[in-house]
Amino acid sequence: MALFRGRAPFAEDRIRQEETIIQAAQARGGIQFSVMMRAALLGLMALPLYGQTFDLVIANGRVLDPASNLDAVRHIGIRGGKIAAISTTALGGRATIDATGLVVAPGFIDLHSHGQTPENYRFKARDGVTTALEMEVGANPVGSWYAEREGRAPINFGATSGELPSRMAVMHDSGKLLPRDKAVERAATPEEFANILARVGRGLDEGGLGIGMGIAYLPHETRAEVLELFRLAAQRRVPLYIHMRNGGPLEPGVIDALQEVIADAAATGASVHVVHITSMGLREAPLCLAMIQGARARGLDITTEAYPYTAGMTDLGSAIFDEGWQQRQGGIGFGDLQWAATGERLTADSFAKYRKQGGYVAIHSIPENIVQLAMANPLVMIASDGILEEGKGHPRAAGTYARVLGRYVRELNSLTLMEAVRKMTQMPADRLAMPAKGRIANGADADLTIFDAAHVTDRATFESPARYSEGIPYVIVGGTVVVNRGELVPNATPGRAVRR
């Protein structure tokens, strides 16, 4: 990271020097460098750190930093909310966490967290998330959205400037998170669309982290309107976070939808993040990933994400459940829908009743082999798409990160621990173009997640989604401990607004 290299005060550079010296000596002599020599060298190199006091020290942890591929026992010194030392020898701090036997990783960054309330932040923190961002739906107006959370959140928060909330406001739709009537039933007039575009632009002026789009929720959104939003993103040099127009194998399905996104990115130069590729692609997800890889190889900036579950969730009152949903979802039926409020599986009758009322429903539509393939694919970041409302919702809101580490890394070996952490930290930080996040390096923000790789596990289920993950004893946000010995620290609100 060029940003840190320029002003790296000491530890990391010295560790690199030391390793270089050791490697050079080994290469020259062709013999094992003696333990004594190494110890002497370490002592010598560590001298300037001696006696320094840090605000907080994380001692003896297995530090895992995907950006530098560091995987070794280190001591981390934190000062002023930043990482100030990464050392092979002990550091002195006003407070110390003994991380012996634990993994110390950069704090997890969730690019897709609809839940932006105190309730949701608690579950995110217990799942190891230090930054939760609402990028797909986004917010609008953006300024007031940030103001409501400033100084009150245990973890970092942020949002894109959302097209959906802009459209709901301009067209007077009665939906809450997602449109359900006026914005669904008809197209916007040219005047209305001009207002929508202006609102989205104002949201960017107010710090929005990009443009959020949910094309599938707007059956009358034209291809020209989508292209206009891409042009705005390109002009303003911000990425779009997109729930594509269609999903599933049946045409017009996910292939057409991804072609629209790739074509518009190519035509405008905009950067795009395609959300939840598994629930969109279903059994065509491998082809979608190949398309994204191909587009990237030809210079387009396209990224994607998935959550580690075989069901999605959305509002039963939304356009997703317009006529033909069974086929569009890959050939499912009423019994594959699970009403979040009660956990019951639906029938034709209960479907009709609840659709009028609106509310969250789980859609059991994603094959397990597709989830495993997405976890293993190096292009796919981890993101939850979660939201809890008074304990009801999808377990992904509470368990996404622990589930990847427990089920997909430890139990199924779908990917390595380093790759999993990369998908949770460095990759989303790079998507955000925020080099101070998602890494353990001198000068980086001291957002850290400390977990027990042998025991970390998700506990949330579709029947009981509001259950904290386990095996994540410490979570640190900007140098402040928010989870201590596995418990939330009451009234800790170090979370900062992440904005452009």
- Contact residues for Zn ion (CB under 5 A)? 243
H or E segment to which residue 75 belongs: strand 70-79
Residue nearest to Zn ion (CB): 243
- Closer residue to Zn ion, CB minimum distance, 243 or 396: 243
Shortest distance in whole angstroms from residue 315 CB to Zn ion? 11
Shortest distance in whole angstroms from residue 312 CB to Zn ion? 8
* Other CB atoms within 10 Å distance of the CB of residue 66: 24
Shortest distance in whole angstroms from residue 136 CB to Zn ion? 5
Distance (Å, rounded) from C-alpha 97 to C-alpha 76? 10
- Closer residue to Zn ion, CB minimum distance, 317 or 473: 317
Distance (Å, rounded) from C-alpha 272 to C-alpha 265? 7
- Closer residue to Zn ion, CB minimum distance, 49 or 164: 164
Shortest distance in whole angstroms from residue 163 CB to Zn ion? 13
Shortest distance in whole angstroms from residue 270 CB to Zn ion? 19
- Closer residue to Zn ion, CB minimum distance, 104 or 337: 337
Contacts 24+ apart (CB under 8 A), 117-122: 118/152, 118/153, 119/388, 119/389, 119/390, 119/391, 120/386, 120/387, 120/388, 120/397, 121/153, 121/154, 121/155, 121/157, 121/495, 122/154, 122/488
Distance (Å, rounded) from C-alpha 128 to C-alpha 476? 9
Is residue 87 a contact partner of residue 74, using CB atoms and an 8 Å limit?
yes
- Closer residue to Zn ion, CB minimum distance, 199 or 245: 245
- Closer residue to Zn ion, CB minimum distance, 134 or 447: 134
* Other CB atoms within 10 Å distance of the CB of residue 162: 29
- Closer residue to Zn ion, CB minimum distance, 12 or 385: 385
Residue 243 CA: distances (Å) to CA of 240, 279, 281, 311:
10, 10, 11, 16
- Closer residue to Zn ion, CB minimum distance, 12 or 136: 136
Shortest distance in whole angstroms from residue 243 CB to Zn ion? 4
Please report the beta strands in 120-268, taking only residues with DSSP state E, as ranges in sequence order: 129-139, 156-162, 211-214, 240-243
Shortest distance in whole angstroms from residue 275 CB to Zn ion? 5
- Closer residue to Zn ion, CB minimum distance, 130 or 318: 318
Helices vs. strands in the chain: H and E counts, helices first: 18, 24
Sign of CA dihedral 373, 318, 177, 171: positive
Is residue 265 a contact partner of residue 230, using CB atoms and an 8 Å limit?
yes
CA atoms within 13 A on the CB side of 463: 1
Shortest distance in whole angstroms from residue 388 CB to Zn ion? 16
Shortest distance in whole angstroms from residue 385 CB to Zn ion? 6
Dihedral angle over CA of 253, 255, 256, 262, nearest 10? 140
